[in-house]
Amino acid sequence: MKELAKDHFKSLGVKRLYATTDGQFFLNEGRCQLHAGSTHTVYAIDNEDPEQAEQVKEKPVSVEELKKALPSMSMEELQAALLHETAGANRKTATAAIEAQIAVLLADGRSPE
């Protein structure tokens, strides 16, 4: 899990991630627990590179720009965008738009993996 988390730490610049045994990563422990339910175990993973965790984050794109880009994004890109958004600006409208697009892909039968 720690190896998989390195890419997320690098792109998000966070100090801690939460992961489930099915390989999903979350910034929020509560969301991770909800996803895990009774079938998966939750792990807290700390960034082992403290300089990386302190990097200055870029200014996020506008919510309107994000909404325009969402339909062309893959499930993996959407999940990364959701992680990035909740770690950064954490805008409710942007988070809701990303989650809605993920739901569309899931309804189309696309796997979250």
Per-residue pLDDT of the chain (113 residues; tens, 9 = 90+): 888 888 877 777 778 889 999 888 888 888 888 888 888 999 999 888 766 655 544 556 788 888 988 998 888 889 888 988 888 778 999 999 999 999 999 998 876 65
Q: What is the pLDDT of residue 56?
A: 42
Residues 40 and 14 in one domain: yes
Q: What is the pLDDT of residue 54?
A: 56
The DSSP code for 3 is: H
Other residues' Cβ atoms within 10 Å of the Cβ of residue 9: 22
Residues 12 and 38 in one domain: yes
Residues 78 and 49 in one domain: no
pTM comes to 0.50
Q: Which domain holds residue 90?
A: 63-107
Residues 41 and 20 in one domain: yes
CB 5 within 8 A of CB 64: no
How far separated are the first and last CA of the chain, in Å rounded? 15
Residues 67 and 46 in one domain: no
Strands (E), 16-89: 16-20, 25-26, 42-46
